[in-house]
Amino acid sequence: MSSNLKQTPLYQTFVDSGAKIVEFGGWAMPVQFSSIKEEHNAVRTAVGLFDVSHMGEVLIEGPEADQLVQYLLSNDTDQLTTEKAQYTALCNEDGGIIDDLITYKLADQSYLLVVNAGNTDKDFEWMQQHAQDFDAQVTNVSNQYGQLAVQGPEARGLIQEHVDIDVSEMKPFEFKTNVSCFGKNVILSQSGYTGEDGFEIYCEAQDTVEIWDNLIDNNVVPCGLGARDTLRLEAGLPLHGQDLTESITPYEAGIAFAAKPLIEADFIGKSVLKDQKENGSKRRAVGLEMIDKGIPRTGYKVYDLDNNEIGEVTSGTQSPFSGKSIALALIERSEFELDKEVLVQVRKRQVKAKIVKKNQISK
């Protein structure tokens, strides 16, 4: 593993705990603490804790912050009110997804954009480049924040015990600023990447270890990137760099809800996305469930039963919860039909699978 990798404030804590550390997006991150299966199942049945401090944060403020944020992003940011968040895409002129991200409206003309770790520098440069025509400041504040994700059916009750606000009615993509969590000032967001109820805590970087330790002392299971990946894949949530790329549009990727090309305001990629909304895209994301034995992996080709290539797997794994081999794939739109059988090229053999809904959580 390279010695040049970035480290979150919790790196030494993970080394001391014996977690298995891997390289991810230029960061040294824990892939697992106990086992991926144990961690995955803890989140599905109880509560787990993830360090996601490697995620990037970009602050956009100024008299024309509203206009700049809308110009950069594919969703309708005019619908955002203070302390509301929104899932969206940063698109290029062809409608391809440079990154997917969460936009937090902190106040009037003030936004925090939370981007994927491996894309932070690229995203920041793109935003700065396009900010030149707007009276707004774009600042990379990633080093100021730690970020922890508390996920699972018991997450809400646990969080309630350790914050000074009522979280019982908080809905997805709502957040609160200036929340006291274990005596530390945090942003508390009702969000996550697991398909479960959960919260994400944004704290000052120097407070990350103390909040983590306090949560672990409350019998929360520490979880690594391995379980984070199997959980999101089981829930049908896309990963940038695999299911989302600069050559895949929101309509192809199955995140059309994050694209609003019919709004009056202009944004980058709008014309291509408007055409796809009105006329359809040639490809679409689907879920796959393997019928025969074999684990589908990224890049494996997908064929119809007449052996015509119709697409490829973008993410695949064996679900730790159900034991089934599952995948997300990008196929020709004309081939989509739920329960339709297809073939996946797994190494030197073709194995049968069926097209299913992307969300494959089964309890």
Residues annotated in a binding site for substrate: 200
Answer positive or negative: Cα dihedral of 326, 328, 334, 336: positive
Judge whether 47 and 155 are in contact, CB under 8 Å: yes
Instruction: For residues 319 and 5, give the distance between their C-alpha atoms in angstroms, rounded to a whole number.
Output: 29
List the end-to-end C-alpha distance of the chain, in Å, as a whole number.
37
Instruction: For residues 117 and 114, give the distance between their C-alpha atoms in angstroms, rounded to a whole number.
Output: 9
Residue 270: CA count within 13 A, CB half-sphere: 15
Determine the distance from the C-alpha atom of residue 236 to the mean position of all C-alpha atoms in its chain, rounded to a whole number.
11
Say how many residues make up the chain. Answer: 363
- Binding-site members are 200
DSSP state of 354: E
DSSP line for 218-261: TTPEEE-HHHHHHHHHHTT---BTTTB-TTS-HHHHT-GGG--T
Judge whether 26 and 118 are in contact, CB under 8 Å: yes
Tokens of 340: 């339709």
95: burial class by Cβ within 10 Å (0-12, 13-18, 19+)? buried
3-state secondary structure of 161: helix
Judge whether 220 and 49 are in contact, CB under 8 Å: yes
What values do phi and psi take at 211, rounded to 5? -65, -45
Query: Residue 327: what residue type?
Result: A
